[in-house]
Structure 1
Amino acid sequence: MSTGTQAVAPGLPQFYQPIEQSTTHAVSPRTVRQVNTSIGRIPEIPGNSLKTLNQRFLVGKVAVVALIFALAVAGVFYGVLVLRSSTTTTTVETTTTTTTATTTTTTTTSTTSTTTDTTTSTTSTTTTTTRTTTTTSVTTATSTTSTSTTSTTSTSTTSTTTQTTITFAPVGIYALNIPTCATWNDTGLTMAGNSNGTLGSDLGSLSAPVSIFVDNNNNLFVADRDNARVLKFVPNATIGIIVAGNGTIGNGSNQLSSPKGVAIDQYGDIIVADSSNYRIQKFVNGSTIGITLAENSTINPLGQMRDLHIDVNNNIYVTDSDNNQVGKFIPFSSIGVVVAGGGPAGPGLNQLSSPFGNFIDPNGTLYIADQLNFRVMKYDPGSLNGTIVAGNGTTGSTAYLLAQPIAVIVDNNGYIYVADYSNGRIMKWTTNYAAGGVCIIGCTGTTGVAATQLRGPRDLKFDRYGNIYITDQANHRIQKFMIQIPPLGCSSESSTLNHSSLVHGFF
């Protein structure tokens, strides 16, 4: 069926459109109006008016499209402008500075001729800089926006440097300040081993002890020869701690064989004359594993080492009785230099005969207990010719004679103290050597196990107060004899030693 189509107002929904009018079935205008009115439709529009309305709608539609296009073009230009001008940079800088602190402390105690240079610490300045840069770009084109952010942070490195200065002097060697009139109680106190003279291998006993060392804190170190170990006894302790060797004879890095010399270097490391292994061992503080510093070889002959000392420059002096000499080992060198004796045994001033103990004063003067020449020799620095300062080369028990002098130390007055082994006594010589010596300990005339007696004194050392520690070897004990000073004191002779360098202790 053919139908006529009436013009429709553009843009109106279908239910707003007028009812179609058939060309074959005429409908009166009145009927159309009644139907449109009954369903809420718009009233009939006359034909001419409808045409005009359609034209207006078409014009309006074109205008709307043109407006939208214009807005789009304007948006593009606006976006370009924003893109060029909307970059924002923000920088935040924070600097934190820690001020450098440098502290230097120097303490000098004149009454004890002690100088201690303490730690100097320098801490570097720490600067932390934080930079944050934020860049924001906004681009608008056809209702599309993009945002980009970039952050950069830089932080400096913190560095700390600490410098420590240590002034070193061997401990257990130099007494601080002993008056010239000082004496010592003749009754000894047992500091290690059994007071009744019995030997043993437990940590409270000793077996043929040899060398001893007393540090600034009064810790006692003992070379326990026949137990192949070095023991440390803290003050007032009767039980020792093994600090070198393991108690079993051997040549392993943790073993010793007949240790006869012990000293502490400036770092707190233990240096041992491992005599029957013909080597010098170092045990780093806290370790029982030894490091060999020097050993017997064709270019560096080392025989039976009887004693070992360290000077203020950390040089090691070893008495080698097999080669009748004293050798010096400078730090980081395994080859020794002969500084006294050498060659065949003899009574000459440039000779030694089975030397045992040695001592080095702060000025580098060397003293040697020349055992089988029955004398003590003194060597000025750099000289191979010595001077007799105790004994006269003949064995005996008078004030002028010695029988197997086996250890020697020197006090701040230049007085010489000698362990007279076979006579079981300790002798003291003043700087007037020709006047002979005086007995100060073990002066009963007999050897024995009593607290007033010695039997084979093998080594002796001062503590920081001037008390004397003695290795009473055949009694397997270490005895301490207290210093005695008159209540009114006494005048002190001027010393040939440099008192200011008698620094006692470093830890």
Structure 2
Amino acid sequence: MGRLNEILLIFLHIQIIFWCWIPSTISIKISPCAKWNRTSEIVAGLGGRGNNPDQLLDPEGIFIHRQSNTLYVSDTGNSRIQAFKLNQLSNMGTTVIFNVTYPTKIYVDDENDGRTIYVSLRNEGRVKKWVQGASDGVQVGGECSMCESVWVDKEKNVYMTSVMKSCVYKWSPQTNIITVVAGREMWQGSSSDSLNSPEGIYVDDTSGTVYVADYANHRIQKWLINALNGTTVAGLSTGNQGSDAESLSYPTAVWVDDETQVVYVADSDNNRIQRWLSNALLGDTVVGGAGMNVEF
């Protein structure tokens, strides 16, 4: 689901780092009108489909650890998490997590005892985290039926997307309490208080705002802290799909520039990455789109 767009999103992140990055230990700064080189460069999976170090099989998620300039890939078909150093000429990946069943999205965090990797496990219905050097992960939070995505904020709260229950959960490690922060638990719908098969999420570390790729409603929803309703920031609020500039079709992932509030979307069925400026009614295509014909 959305294999091409995961590869396109890898490309978009790489373009951001190498062409639009202003050196900073705090954040990446991107002009809202930035242009990308539309000729892609493969940075992971150069060897095609397979299980060798330079290969991937049906990857579902990516995460760029900015401090180490490392690309982490959820290599779903090979049941592993791969790491690729972006500042090296080699395209060989290193397996950092082995034998993990159907990993989807990943989040890499820095903690006192080293780097920690959080993985959403769709078939197991939960999120697990691996501390540096661990041979196995430990579950965090509670049940998350068809767990599709994961995010971690600066307070170490863990956010989890449940496709089956049509909502986003937030688990607090301080209180061990789980709350619903987007959507209505066990309620599919296209109204502003509902989600339908949510997938990728992004959490603004400053405001705590949650952005959700509302997959089957073909839109991106923005949920403020303690809000009972979401606001559509990309796609049509009615939940209708399309391929024009105002529409999306089965979005799988979302990334937001916290400073400019520009939203980037992996628009799965349209084989493109869309950019939506703050309060815009239309998006523009930065990668992919009509005529894109790529096989994996």
Do both share a fold (TM > 0.5)? yes
Give the structure with the larger helix fraction: 1
One-letter identity of the residue aligned with 2:46: N
Query: What is the deviation of 1:312?
Result: 2.0
Aligned equivalents of 1:378, 1:112: Cα separation in 2: 29
| Superposed counterparts of 1:485-500, under 5 Å | none
Query: What is the deviation of 1:287?
Result: 2.3
Q: Secondary structure at the match of 1:413?
A: coil
Does the 8 A contact of 2:272 with 2:287 survive in 1? yes
Structure 1 position 350 matched with structure 2 position 189 = no
Query: Which residue among 226, 244, 250 is the counterpart of 1:382?
Result: 226
One-letter identity of the residue aligned with 1:374: H
Query: Which residue among 53, 59, 62 is the counterpart of 1:209?
Result: 59
Q: Secondary structure at the match of 1:192?
A: coil
Q: Secondary structure at the match of 1:184?
A: coil
| Superposed counterparts of 1:171-250, under 5 Å | 176-194=28-46, 198-215=48-65, 216-235=67-86, 236=88, 237-246=90-99
Give the structure with the larger strand fraction: 2
| Superposed counterparts of 1:366-405, under 5 Å | 366-392=210-236, 393-405=239-251
Query: Which residue among 305, 314, 319 is the counterpart of 2:161?
Result: 319
Query: Which residue among 274, 281, 288 is the counterpart of 1:427?
Result: 274
Query: Which residue among 162, 177, 180 is the counterpart of 1:338?
Result: 180
Matching residue of 1:269: 116
Structure 1 position 414 matched with structure 2 position 261 = yes
Query: What is the deviation of 1:343?
Result: 2.4
* 1:107-128 Cα distance to aligned partner (Å, 9 max, x none): xxxx76655xxxxxxxxxxxxx
Query: What is the deviation of 1:264?
Result: 1.4
Does the 8 A contact of 2:127 with 2:150 survive in 1? no
One-letter identity of the residue aligned with 1:400: E
Percent identical among aligned pairs is 34
Query: What is the deviation of 1:211?
Result: 1.1
Q: Secondary structure at the match of 1:309?
A: strand
Does the 8 A contact of 1:243 with 1:287 survive in 2? no
Structure 1 position 447 matched with structure 2 position 292 = yes
* 1:141-197 Cα distance to aligned partner (Å, 9 max, x none): xxxxxxxxxxxxxxxxxxxxxxxxxxxxxxxxxx521122211111111111136xx
Query: What is the deviation of 1:322?
Result: 0.7
One-letter identity of the residue aligned with 1:184: W
Aligned equivalents of 1:337, 1:406: Cα separation in 2: 23
- Structure 1 gaps, min length 5: 1-110, 116-174, 247-255, 297-301, 450-454, 456-474, 476-507
Aligned equivalents of 2:292, 2:209: Cα separation in 1: 32
Query: What is the deviation of 1:351?
Result: 0.3
Aligned equivalents of 1:321, 1:448: Cα separation in 2: 29
Matching residue of 1:63: none
One-letter identity of the residue aligned with 1:351: S
Aligned equivalents of 1:184, 1:349: Cα separation in 2: 33
Does the 8 A contact of 1:231 with 1:242 survive in 2? yes
Over the aligned positions, Cα root-mean-square deviation in angstroms equals 1.8
Q: Normalising by the residue count of structure 1, what TM-score does the alignment of the two structures yield?
A: 0.50
Rg comparison, structure with higher value: 1
Does the 8 A contact of 2:142 with 2:178 survive in 1? no
Does the 8 A contact of 1:424 with 1:446 survive in 2? no
Query: What is the deviation of 1:446?
Result: 2.7
Aligned equivalents of 2:80, 2:121: Cα separation in 1: 10
One-letter identity of the residue aligned with 2:253: A
One-letter identity of the residue aligned with 2:63: F
One-letter identity of the residue aligned with 2:34: A
Does the 8 A contact of 1:266 with 1:314 survive in 2? no
Aligned equivalents of 1:114, 1:219: Cα separation in 2: 15
Aligned equivalents of 2:260, 2:24: Cα separation in 1: 12
* 1:254-309 Cα distance to aligned partner (Å, 9 max, x none): xx21001211123111111122122211111122321222343xxxxx21111111
Query: What is the deviation of 1:332?
Result: 5.1
Aligned equivalents of 1:293, 1:386: Cα separation in 2: 26
Aligned equivalents of 1:180, 1:439: Cα separation in 2: 13
Does the 8 A contact of 2:149 with 2:199 survive in 1? yes
Aligned residues: 264
Q: Secondary structure at the match of 1:422?
A: helix
Aligned equivalents of 1:266, 1:399: Cα separation in 2: 38
Query: What is the deviation of 1:394?
Result: 1.3
Q: Secondary structure at the match of 1:273?
A: strand
Aligned equivalents of 1:384, 1:258: Cα separation in 2: 32
Query: Which residue among 93, 101, 114 is the counterpart of 1:257?
Result: 101
One-letter identity of the residue aligned with 1:311: D
Aligned equivalents of 2:278, 2:63: Cα separation in 1: 25
* 1:465-503 Cα distance to aligned partner (Å, 9 max, x none): xxxxxxxxxx3xxxxxxxxxxxxxxxxxxxxxxxxxxxx
Structure 1 position 287 matched with structure 2 position 134 = yes
Aligned equivalents of 1:358, 1:180: Cα separation in 2: 21
Q: Secondary structure at the match of 1:205?
A: coil
Does the 8 A contact of 1:309 with 1:318 survive in 2? yes
Higher relative contact order (CA 8 A, sep 6+): 1
Moved over 3 A (4+): 111-115, 332-335
One-letter identity of the residue aligned with 1:231: Q
Q: Normalising by the residue count of structure 2, what TM-score does the alignment of the two structures yield?
A: 0.84
Aligned equivalents of 2:72, 2:118: Cα separation in 1: 11
